[in-house]
Amino acid sequence: MIEQADPAEQAADQQAVQQQTPERDLALDMVRRGLIGGPVLVGVCTGIWGWDGLWSSGYALGLILVNFWLAASLITWSLRISATLLMAAVLGGYFIRLGILTGAYFLVRNIAWFDALPFVITLVAAHIVLLVWETRYVSMSLAYPGLKPQGVRS
């Protein structure tokens, strides 16, 4: 005989599934890793370009971390509404976030402490390094969406 699950247990399971946000977990993990590895890149830029390299590289690193967080927040918000909105938000959000990064550059390009080369190097290198670094920790399984649980090998 098959046991029927308690309605309270079913409601709790449904709520737990709805509260899973693997995209936000991934973004927060990338932000955490960016805060760990980012100072190395900022330090290299400081060593090469001095204080201007420090401020320009730090500004770029901050933009990158905010960019990842915004992307995850947009996905989490739109997914709760509909799949169509999710697709529109991901595509539209990409262009909006690209515009924000461009606007952030134009906002500071004429300020004395800003140097474009360490800014661009940090912007490109940190995006690529953080995305590649994060692939080691992503679970490619429906059993564990998002980050791999501790102790699970692929």
In a domain, residue 15? The reply is no
Q: How confident is the model at residue 106 (pLDDT cuts 50, 70, 90)?
A: very high
Reported as a pLDDT band with limits 50, 70 and 90, residue 24 is confident
Q: What is the pLDDT of residue 17?
A: 46
What is the Cα–Cα distance from 72 to 37, expressed in whole angstroms? Answer: 20
For 42-93, the pLDDT digits (tens) are 999 999 999 999 999 999 999 999 999 999 889 888 988 888 999 999 999 9
Q: Of residues 15 and 65, which shows the higher confidence score?
A: 65
pLDDT tens digits, residue range 30-40? 888 889 989 99
In the block, tokens 């100072």 appear at 39
DSSP H helix total and E strand total for the chain: 4, 2
Whether 64 maps to a domain, the answer reads yes
Per the structure, how many domains does the chain have? 1
Under the banding of pLDDT at 50, 70 and 90, the label for residue 18 is low
pLDDT confidence band for 26 (50 / 70 / 90): confident
Percent of the chain residues past pLDDT 70, beyond the cut = 77
C-alpha 87/C-alpha 97 separation (Å) is: 15
88: in domain: yes
Write down the pLDDT at residue 5. 59
Q: Is residue 42 part of a domain?
A: yes
Contact indicator for 74, 24 with CB cutoff of 8 Å: no
Domain limits for position 103: 23-135
Q: Is the pLDDT of residue 150 over 90?
A: no
Distance CA 139, CA 121 (A): 29
